Chains A and B, each alone.
Chain A
């Protein structure tokens, strides 16, 4: 077993480097999810208003981020922003920006759907005690919509985490990128290193996403039982 391929994971700094890459992926996911979900709550609430101009703009925003593939979005922001707008952002910041805007778009649809599922009578009951528009959302509609949007939101979270694997394309040092570097650097000593490195990356992603996925299923089942 002196030359077993699994040792590639423990040679030198390899293991800590991979974990470091995972942390970059996790950090980008967390930051973009926090910003994106907050922004999505606001946009989703705005999409339930009657203003046709606002609705159209927000609808276009949603469709743009839903239709354009994430890779294309990343390239757009990574290459076009600096070149045509003279804005130089690090790859990680670009990644967070693109993902946050993407999450906000998807989230706005989840939020809108949940808000319009709250019975109309609830809104009228809130109006009848004198609540104004923002108060209606804050105290009556959003609290009741949150339960409806949690499963879809958790699904979105796992999608975001998985999609960080694309970030190597704009040279973010994420876990996949570092894995590839390790494989390249050790090709002579560990010819089958790819198996072990990608195997570990698989397990790491699984550990991040599976709990979320299980949680979503649990919540969905609980909601069905309550309904």
Chain B
């Protein structure tokens, strides 16, 4: 097996006395889609945020592209160009146009030429069907449009790994499909992704592997098809039965 893109070993995370994540071990293969499932409050968001340094953790080792990650501000700032993240609440910068939102990272962080970065931005906007909205401000867009822009903003840095934290959870049902379509295309282009979602049909369709988290413990880490057809643990069975899909 080729070197995994990301390896998490023995990660422990607590807030004060509250232990959130217990001995997390996780391997993510290059070009694969991992779906992180679990009941709310199980630590999914905390885990995904630990993987790009938005949360610190008490102990454990991350290895990205074969390189051990030293968890400090400087390392994370560099690494975040390779690990893109999209949030539930989109969080576009309201004071900037769509194009400026997308170009901020490429121009100011990566110091790329404006012409080249803009060409890429326009191409990405076309792929998500929003080429006409370059000069719009976020407040003029619907939730689904904002989320697709937020994905483009992350992709504009040419990341090797994408984290999606419940990116459809605050969207109206009719907006969800467009966003999932974008994720599906990314998967087809062999982008390595870690997806937290409650869209179970989508999870089943897209997951190369499923990680099932409950109360901060990984209970299962299995190939996607196997998880949905034949979950190993009782907790996972209960979880799947409780989901309406």
Contact = CB atoms under 8 A, between A and B. Distances in A.
Contacts of A131: 77, 104-105, 108-109
A149 interface: no
Given A125-B87, A129-B80, 16 more contacts: A122-B91, A122-B93, A124-B54, A128-B52, A129-B84, A129-B154, A130-B78, A130-B80, A130-B109, A131-B108, A135-B108, A139-B104, A139-B108, A143-B95, A144-B93, A144-B95
Contacts of A3: none
A139 B94 CA distance: 11
A119 B87 CA distance: 14
Nearest to A147: B95
Nearest to B53: A127
Contacts of A127: 53-54, 76-77, 80
B44 interface: no
A121 B53 CA distance: 14
A121 B91 contact: yes
Contact of B89 (A121, A129, A144): A121
Interface string A116-159: 00010110111111111101000110011000000000000000
B111 to A, nearest CB: 11
27 contacts: A119-B91, A121-B87, A124-B87, A125-B92, A125-B93, A125-B150, A127-B80, A128-B52, A128-B80, A129-B84, A129-B104, A129-B105, A129-B109, A130-B77, A130-B110, A130-B157, A131-B104, A131-B108, A132-B77, A135-B108, A135-B109, A139-B93, A139-B104, A139-B108, A140-B93, A143-B93, A144-B95
A56 B54 CA distance: 27
A50 B52 CA distance: 21
Given A135-B108, A135-B109, A139-B108, A128 B95 contact: no
Contacts of A121: 87, 89, 91
A128 B84 contact: yes
Nearest to A128: B85
B95 A129 contact: no
Interface in B11-37: none
Interface of B: 52-54, 73, 76-78, 80-81, 84-85, 87, 89, 91-95, 104-105, 108-110, 150, 153-154, 157
Contact of B81 (A122, A130, A139, A143): A130
Contacts of B81: 129-130
A126 B93 CA distance: 8
B104 to A, nearest CB: 6
Contacts of B53: 127
Which 5 A-B pairs have CB atoms at the shortest separation, nearest pair first? A125-B91, A129-B105, A130-B109, A128-B85, A130-B80
A129 B77 CA distance: 8
A124 B105 contact: no
A124 B45 CA distance: 14
Contacts of A135: 108-109
A129 B157 contact: yes
Nearest to A143: B95
Contacts of B110: 130
Interface string A45-75: 0000000000000000000000000000000
A139 B153 CA distance: 15
B78 A129 contact: no
B139 to A, nearest CB: 9
Contacts of A130: 77-78, 80-81, 105, 109-110, 157
Contacts of B89: 121
Contacts of B54: 124, 127-128
Contacts of A122: 91, 93
Which residue, B53, B78, B80, has most C-beta atoms of chain A within 10 A? Answer: B80
Nearest to A133: B73
Contact of A144 (B94, B104, B109): B94
